[in-house]
Structure 1
Amino acid sequence: MKAGSKFLNAVSAFALSAGVVVSGASVVVLASPLAAEAAVIQRIDVRGAQRTGQEAVRSNLTIRPGVAFSNSDIDESVKRLYATGYFSDVKISVSGGTLVVSVNESRLVNQVVFNGNRKIKDDKLQAVVQTQPLGPYSDAIIQADIQRLKEAYTSIGRSDVQITTQTAPVGQGRVNLAFVINEGERTKISSINFVGNQAYGDRRLHDVLVTKESGPLSFITRKDVYSDDKLRADEEALRQFYYNHGYPDFRVVSSNAVLDESKNEYTITFTVEEGARYNFGNVAVESTVSGISGEELQGLVQTKSGNTYNAKEIQKTMEAISKKVASAGYPFARVTPRGDRNFQTNTVGVTYLVDQGERAYVERIDIRGNTRTRDYVIRREFDLSEGDAFNQTMITRAKRRLEALGYFGKVNISTQQGSSPDRVVIVVDVEDQATGSFGIGAGYAANDGVVLEASVEEKNFLGRGQYIRVAAGGGQDSSRTYSLNFTEPYFLGYRLAAGFDVFKSQTSSNDYYTYEEQGFTLRVTAPITEELATTFRYNYKEIQYSGDGDWKTSLSRPYLDLVNGGTYVQSSVSQTLTYNTLDSMTLPRQGIYATVTHEYAGLGGDSEFYKIYGRARYFHTLSDEMDLIGQLSVGAGHVVATGDKLNVFDQFTLGGRQVRGFENDGIGPRMRNGDTIGGTTYFTASAEVTAPLPVVPEDFGLRAAFFADAGTLYGNEVANTAGIQGTSSAWRASVGAGITWASPFGALRFDYAVPVMKEDYDQEQRFRFSMANQF
């Protein structure tokens, strides 16, 4: 019997006793004195509630003895009883002064189990379904649970999952419920197509998207899993890409994902309208805030007249102006960009309007959706808290910071009206994603052959936002390395990234001696601006040399003092300035990454020196259409002794890491047996161009590189020139080509370089296979 019919029967019983006739769906009121009066009952008689209990039934009724009631009360009471899910049938009638409530109890669920699931564990599925042990058995709820389970499987790329149910009675009106799951095969994305794009080809736009086409390694990367949320994110990624490359009129006309059920594959199509490309026209700042003029804010503007239109630069300008005006005592100030489009010259003039804004305060910050990350990890990315002046620009900055953490698959920030017109509630919706990884890296060293490294990394340890990494590696010979890294990004509640590094390594020279080192570093990094940061370190290292042989006789006395065996200690403090404007840390296309470090050793130990060294890298997109990226880099360093002399491990070494085509320490001063002893001064320079490999889909992450490197290392304060060779400042250079692969196991690089300028005693290594960690 359907719920509507049950309710109609219940109403009929009451209607007849009150002089009302129910016929079909209409109610006819007869001419009777009782029809105009509300009914009153003296008692309630509940029948059939054996497990549930009579009081549980009475508590869901709106009708009370001695209180007048009407048809609407019966209607509401029936609805409430059905809503509990514990009853399959409900009838209410009136007999004299008694309200008779007759119910048939639904079956109860004794146990819920899942059969056939391998890709999603039981506890995950249990959290998805609403049917729970000791709860009512409801066909409607179970069907809804099946749909939820299918959505859970769709989210991991298994859209063809099939789910049925089985029940087994266990007595006393209870049943065991089993969801029988056939997980099926992974649903693939066969192709991602673009319609309407003229300025950029499909290959370039593929790289912008979060969703990728299925490939041989998709089962590891999981980037080919389709979801509506990812499709929306891809739409936004396309918009931001075009907005930041001069196309303010760009729009996504449509995005469609069509599932071919016979092949279990999606075809995704984006239809876009690019519009014309614009440059910035006249740029100005106007202020109505008392005491602050537009002229003094002009220096904060990053949108320069004549440059390509870039929405990101507009946002950064708004943030800089808002921060400046707020620090001057105007926390409610509002910065609004006004565009002035010139269709003839394809320029957009921008005027930043600064006004007092409306007075509004943050009433509270509500955080939703975080199942693993702690609330305080999210709250600390906001530069405002409860009670502070509301500032939309700060909200935008917080969203960008949260996205940059890499903890969340989705970040949405919205606002709601608070308890009064001047109060605002900030609502943060996030979706946690996996932040741990296990990696296996490979490289090549001349002395040890293939070098392997295994590591375990977690970027959001215990949901606290902490970073931890444990790694171990070794080569075919005696090379061994171990390391432990830990970082607390908000030390003592401040935006200070404090941490430590512990390491131990062992290697050997060319049949002469064994070199071991172990130590630790304590560090803290403080931001100066959004792009500039400083890091302070204390470094402690123990170095041990051991070995025997006639090789000692070729060395001067100072070097003999070092390598006769024993342990040496290096204790130093250092400071590093880092300037970073890169648009991406994984595949930068625009920006600068530069570091300069100065270090002083002499806090005890055997080393006494002052070092200064640094490197700057500049990236620029040479062709957006071809995704051609150019890179220039320069580096330099110098060390001077602050005590009697330098030790061999105090000096710089130079080789294949900076000038490809040579061994790691293959350039510069060395003993006549070939062992390097380093130098006091070095310079390096490099130029490189990278592009996607033709024919190969861009989603594979393969890029070709062509480069030219140059460098020199000279100077020596360890041994006299009679015992070594290579102290001149002669430059070395090489040219070559390589392939980089953004693999699921990490960024790998394969290079082949030919030295075109070298010395006879330099040690070559033309082929190089290594992890391509750039920063």
Structure 2
Amino acid sequence: MRKTAGRIGKSENGLVRPALIAAFLGSVAIAAPVVGPAFAQTYSFSSVQVEGNSAIEPATIIAYAGIGRGEEVTAARLNDAYQNIVNSGLFESVELEPQGNTLVIRVVEYPMINIVNFEGNSRLKDEELAEIAKSRGRLVYSPSQAEEDAAAIADAYRLRGRIAATVDPRIIRRDGNRVDLVFEVTEGKVAEIERLSFVGNRAFSDRRLRQVLETKQAGLLRQVIQRDTFVAERLELDKQLLRDFYLARGYADVQVLDATSDVSRERDAFFVTITIREGQQFRIGQTSTVSEIEGVDAAEFEAVQRIRSGEVWSPALIDNNVTRMENLALRKGLNFVRVDPRITRDERGGLLDVEFAIVRGERIFVERIDIEGNTTTLDQVVRRQFRTVEGDPFNAREIRQSAERIRALGFFADAQVNAEPGSSSDSVVVNVDVEEQPTGSLTFGASYGVEAGIGFNIGLSEKNFLGRGQSVGLSLTTGADATEGSFSFTEPAFLGRDLAWSFGVSYRESDNANSASYDTRVGRLTTGLEFPLGELSRLQVRYTYQDSKISNPPAGVSPIIAAEVAQGAVTSSALGYTYSYDSRISGLNPKGGVLLRFSQDFAGLGGDSKYIMTTGLALAETKVMQEEVTLRTIFEGGMINSLGGTNSRVTERFFGNSKIRGFESNGIGPRDGTEALGGNMFAVARFEADFPVGLPEEYGISGGLFMDVGSVWSLDNTLGSGGVNVDDSMNIRSAAGFSVFWDTPVGPLRLNFSKALAKEDYDREQSFDLTISTKF
């Protein structure tokens, strides 16, 4: 039976035609019988005809409709079929028209995308935008997908601080039902942080707190510094950094209440305000240790503590002592032992009494450790950061510390470690979810020194070689009077242990045109093992082979140098070690710490040279005046003891370069005429103070004062020109001056302005020096 009805359709702009649907449903209602109950009228089609399609098969469209031949369907079912075809996203317009026993489906297909172009973009390249957009050539054009792509591109600009960026998708129609899809980008200006201020801070200045944050104020280098652009997501990280900063300094009740941002009328600048409630600073009061496990002596555990009354309280201080005590329990074979720090507050005295309670923990085991997201890094690199393996008792604190070690690798942009219930009530599964980030770098650079002039360097480094956690470096440096190349390789987990094996080779040629009258050539090979001796101390043992040659001396060169030239190429084969202790890495004293380093090399295991070389360094630093001023004292010295009747060479002796400011390279120490000879001994004391100079800290400019005192002295052979002995006595030199530190995109620069206070007549002074600032 033939039924008549209107069309169900969709306009060219993708909107359903309500009038047609109303007419269709109205015709059904009119045709319905009047007598008896009202039932929805049904249709039955012996055939379905598809019109207007070219790229999409009729069977596919009929399948979307879901109406079979001879099947009775209602008007509502026809509307559902229409919606199914529309929702496929393949058609600009759709119409369903019953014609007797035939259902006619008319469609207008969306065009195919010919190419996707981007216009108006400069900060983000076409390749970057193409990776963001999901619309591709040879795919069906979808307006909704194009809008999603435009939003995603705008969001990428927002993350780079360009919140005013707009992206409009446009289509250019071509022959053959094809279109070019063009994203028109208006990038706008960078929304910089014009002002970054704090409310509620009393113990620390705004300047000091701004140094803590990842977000930076816009300044002189706003065109190259990326951290001064506003990124809303970064504020949450900044709030956590501030909280950690205060907690490490004893402010147990600190709250970072809010971080608000206001945009300027031009939408090119933000004003960020962070509200803090500091609370009071607490120190450690009385400490005690109790055992709630029968047979466990609390005195043994108290003996391993490193906590004193009067110390500034910090979470790291408590955690480190808990870890020591729990490690002692493991060494004693006591499983499922937990140490709970119980805090009693003395608000009036600003003290926190700590009771370490040794209690029996839950019997929970680590069922397995699952690692996900490491597309490059091998599982074993992540797994070896755990002190716990499958089957061990579960220790929540150890899992947290393992997570910190994974993040400290620097291989991952993000690393999350969580423990979830295992297959039984007494087991957990540790899930590690990491996100890889680039770990290699290729650098090209230029350097400048007052004496050395302009130099160029190229470097290639990879700190996660082949995903094995190994470090590889290759560099080549050229200057006015020297060329140097080096290669290094480090395996941080040699033999699967906390044992770092390193290997390095270097080669240097110098004509010393600016500091000496002869040429040198030094080739060196070094390999060694390094391992921890304690929480803060490490020991490195190494072997070094060196081949050196002094050549091309001018006529009238010092007899001391001439004698060393006559030796030709000289080799040395040495075993050595370095002991280091660095309290700064513990984080227990955020204001500073102590670094001690002592090294010795014993040459004479083959080769031509026989000597013992000893060097040492002691550094102490602290921050005062709301941590804005850093005071630093450094003592450094070295000595070469020649053995077996041999004499030290100029390629082995100390020159004190960069040790005492105010003097040129090779500018102090024993000298024969104009020829610097170096010395078998050196000692220096340096006193420094770094401080702000009043400029906005976003400029990265600060100042410093220094005073250096020391000397280079002692030679094995002192017979100089004309048979006159060279003065190799310990003549004290000193210099004082001020420094300007500038954090630039090419590195931290240090400009030293100095004046020699005590010197010898033959010393060479230098009142200005420009160097790369280094840290010990």
Q: TM-score range by the shorter chain?
A: 0.7 to 0.9
Distance in 1, Cα, partners of 2:283 & 2:715:
53
2:702 paired with 1:700: no
Rate the CA distance shift 1:469–1:163 in 2: closer, same or farther, 3 A: same
2:398 paired with 1:394: yes
The corresponding residue for 1:25 is none
Q: 1:622 aligns with which of 613, 616, 624?
A: 624
Whether the 8 Å contact between 2:439 and 2:462 is mirrored in structure 1 is no
| TM superposition shift of 1:497 | 5.0
Distance in 2, Cα, partners of 1:469 & 1:258:
45
Moved more, 347-356 or 198-207: 347-356
Rate the CA distance shift 1:109–1:635 in 2: closer, same or farther, 3 A: same
Whether the 8 Å contact between 2:617 and 2:634 is mirrored in structure 1 is yes
What is the count of residue pairs matched by the alignment? 753
The corresponding residue for 1:159 is 163
Look up the equivalent residue of 2:152 and give its one-letter code: R
Rate the CA distance shift 1:603–1:434 in 2: closer, same or farther, 3 A: closer
Where does 1:169-248 land on structure 2 (aligned, <5 Å)? 169-248=173-252
Q: 2:537 aligns with which of 523, 532, 546?
A: 532
Question: Residue by residue, what CA displacement relative to the aligned partner does 1:154-174 show, whole Å, maximum 9, x if unpaired?
Answer: 222322222112212344544
The corresponding residue for 2:609 is 607
Where does 1:416-431 land on structure 2 (aligned, <5 Å)? 416-418=420-422, 421=425, 422-430=427-435
Distance in 1, Cα, partners of 2:563 & 2:341:
68
Q: RMSD between aligned alpha carbons? A: 4.2
Rate the CA distance shift 1:339–1:555 in 2: closer, same or farther, 3 A: same
Moved more, 90-99 or 483-492: 90-99
The corresponding residue for 1:668 is 669
Rate the CA distance shift 1:147–1:488 in 2: closer, same or farther, 3 A: farther
The corresponding residue for 2:660 is 659
| TM superposition shift of 1:492 | 5.7
Whether the 8 Å contact between 1:669 and 1:724 is mirrored in structure 2 is no
Rate the CA distance shift 1:299–1:186 in 2: closer, same or farther, 3 A: farther
Distance in 1, Cα, partners of 2:307 & 2:84:
62
The corresponding residue for 1:522 is 527
Look up the equivalent residue of 1:141 and give its one-letter code: Q
Rate the CA distance shift 1:436–1:98 in 2: closer, same or farther, 3 A: same
The corresponding residue for 1:689 is 689
| TM superposition shift of 1:238 | 0.5
| TM superposition shift of 1:573 | 2.8
| TM superposition shift of 1:720 | 5.0
The corresponding residue for 1:270 is 274
Distance in 2, Cα, partners of 1:647 & 1:93:
103
Distance in 2, Cα, partners of 1:172 & 1:128:
28
Where does 1:477-492 land on structure 2 (aligned, <5 Å)? 478-491=481-494
Rate the CA distance shift 1:102–1:735 in 2: closer, same or farther, 3 A: same
Look up the equivalent residue of 1:481 and give its one-letter code: E
Look up the equivalent residue of 1:664 and give its one-letter code: S
The corresponding residue for 1:27 is none
Moved more, 216-225 or 101-110: 101-110
Question: Residue by residue, what CA displacement relative to the aligned partner does 1:538-567 show, whole Å, maximum 9, x if unpaired?
Answer: 323322212344435x536xx644223732
The corresponding residue for 2:749 is 748
Question: Residue by residue, what CA displacement relative to the aligned partner does 1:744-775 show, whole Å, maximum 9, x if unpaired?
Answer: 21222222333333344444333332222233
| TM superposition shift of 1:200 | 0.8
The corresponding residue for 1:452 is 455
The corresponding residue for 2:638 is 637
| TM superposition shift of 1:475 | 4.5
Partner SS, residue 747 of structure 1: strand
2:362 paired with 1:361: no
Whether the 8 Å contact between 1:19 and 1:32 is mirrored in structure 2 is no
Where does 1:399-438 land on structure 2 (aligned, <5 Å)? 399-418=403-422, 421=425, 422-430=427-435, 432=437, 436=441, 438=443
| TM superposition shift of 1:682 | 3.1
Distance in 2, Cα, partners of 1:81 & 1:345:
75
Moved more, 190-199 or 103-112: 103-112
| TM superposition shift of 1:494 | 4.5
Look up the equivalent residue of 1:638 and give its one-letter code: M
Moved more, 611-620 or 386-395: 386-395
Distance in 1, Cα, partners of 2:691 & 2:573:
44
Question: Residue by residue, what CA displacement relative to the aligned partner does 1:224-263 show, whole Å, maximum 9, x if unpaired?
Answer: 1322232111111111111111211111111122222515
Distance in 1, Cα, partners of 2:336 & 2:108:
62
Partner SS, residue 276 of structure 1: coil
Rate the CA distance shift 1:692–1:290 in 2: closer, same or farther, 3 A: farther
Partner SS, residue 345 of structure 1: coil
Question: Residue by residue, what CA displacement relative to the aligned partner does 1:188-233 show, whole Å, maximum 9, x if unpaired?
Answer: 2211111111111111111111111122323333221322232111
Distance in 2, Cα, partners of 1:410 & 1:189:
25
Look up the equivalent residue of 2:551 and give its one-letter code: S
Distance in 1, Cα, partners of 2:387 & 2:74:
57
The corresponding residue for 2:5 is none
Distance in 2, Cα, partners of 1:620 & 1:271:
28
2:120 paired with 1:121: no
Look up the equivalent residue of 1:621 and give its one-letter code: K
Question: Residue by residue, what CA displacement relative to the aligned partner does 1:122-151 show, whole Å, maximum 9, x if unpaired?
Answer: 332222223233434322222221111011
Question: Residue by residue, what CA displacement relative to the aligned partner does 1:356-376 show, whole Å, maximum 9, x if unpaired?
Answer: 2351425443434x6776666
The corresponding residue for 1:308 is 312
Partner SS, residue 400 of structure 2: helix
Partner SS, residue 615 of structure 2: strand
Whether the 8 Å contact between 2:414 and 2:435 is mirrored in structure 1 is yes
Distance in 1, Cα, partners of 2:361 & 2:47:
65
The corresponding residue for 1:710 is 709
| TM superposition shift of 1:692 | 1.5
Where does 1:44-59 land on structure 2 (aligned, <5 Å)? 45=48, 47=50, 51-53=55-57, 56=60
Whether the 8 Å contact between 2:167 and 2:183 is mirrored in structure 1 is yes
Moved more, 285-294 or 220-229: 285-294
Distance in 2, Cα, partners of 1:597 & 1:114:
60
Look up the equivalent residue of 1:716 and give its one-letter code: L
Question: Residue by residue, what CA displacement relative to the aligned partner does 1:441-494 show, whole Å, maximum 9, x if unpaired?
Answer: 64536xx44353434354546673554444444544x33333344444445654
| TM superposition shift of 1:348 | 1.8
Distance in 2, Cα, partners of 1:406 & 1:287:
39
Whether the 8 Å contact between 1:648 and 1:678 is mirrored in structure 2 is no
Report the TM-score when normalising by structure 1.
0.84
Partner SS, residue 582 of structure 1: helix
Rate the CA distance shift 1:644–1:31 in 2: closer, same or farther, 3 A: farther
The corresponding residue for 1:737 is 738
Q: Which runs of 5+ in 1 are unaligned?
A: 22-29
Distance in 2, Cα, partners of 1:19 & 1:530:
90
Report the TM-score when normalising by structure 2.
0.84
Distance in 2, Cα, partners of 1:329 & 1:619:
40
Whether the 8 Å contact between 1:11 and 1:92 is mirrored in structure 2 is no
Partner SS, residue 300 of structure 2: helix
Distance in 2, Cα, partners of 1:772 & 1:314:
35
Partner SS, residue 662 of structure 1: coil
Rate the CA distance shift 1:451–1:137 in 2: closer, same or farther, 3 A: closer
Whether the 8 Å contact between 2:517 and 2:553 is mirrored in structure 1 is yes
| TM superposition shift of 1:691 | 0.9
Whether the 8 Å contact between 1:653 and 1:667 is mirrored in structure 2 is no
Look up the equivalent residue of 2:245 and give its one-letter code: F
Whether the 8 Å contact between 1:62 and 1:73 is mirrored in structure 2 is no
